Structure 1
Amino acid sequence: MSDSIEGTVAAATGLQNWNMMQEKDNLLLRKVLDGQANTILSLVNSVPTAPQLANGGMVGTLLHTTA
C-alpha cells in the first residue's frame, strides 16, 4: 500500500512542477507578445496620415473608374 501512496505523491509533485513550468512559459509568452504589440503600435503610429482626397474643383474629382 505504501507504493501506491508514494506513486500518488510523486505524480502530484510531478504535476505541480509541470504546472509551474507551464505558468512560467505562459508569462514569458505574454511578455514577448506585449513587446511585439508595443513595437507594432509604435510602427503604426510613426506612419504619417494619408493625404485627403480632393472633393471639390477640377483636379482629382472627375475621374470615375470601376474594377
Structure 2
Amino acid sequence: MRMDSSISNTVGAAVALQQYNADQSAQMSLLRQSLDTQAGQVAQLMEAVGDGPKLASVGSIGTQLNTYA
C-alpha cells in the first residue's frame, strides 16, 4: 500500500508541475505581446520626434552639452 500512495503522490506532483508550466507559458506569451506592443509604440514616438532640435555648432553655448528633453 505504501508504494501506491508514493506513486499517486508522484503522479499528482507531475500533473501539478505540468499545469504550472502551462500557466507560466501563457503568462510569458502575454508578457512578450505586451513588450512587443510597447516596443512598437516607442519606435513610433522616436520616429515622430526625429532628430529633435539641431545643436549649436559655433560659440560657447549649446556646443558641448545637449540638454534637450
If the length of structure 2 is used for normalisation, what is the TM-score?
Answer: 0.73
Q: Aligned residue pairs: how many?
A: 60
TM-score by length of 1: 0.75
Report the aligned-residue RMSD. Answer: 2.2
Detail structure 1 runs of 4+ shifted over 3 Å in the superposition: 52-55, 63-66
Deviations 1:36-65 (A, max 9, x none): 01101100110032325345xxxxx3x369
Structure 2: 5+ residue runs without aligned partners? Answer: 65-69
Larger RCO (CA under 8 A, 6+ residues apart): 2
The structure that has the greater radius of gyration is 1
* Identity fraction in percent: 33
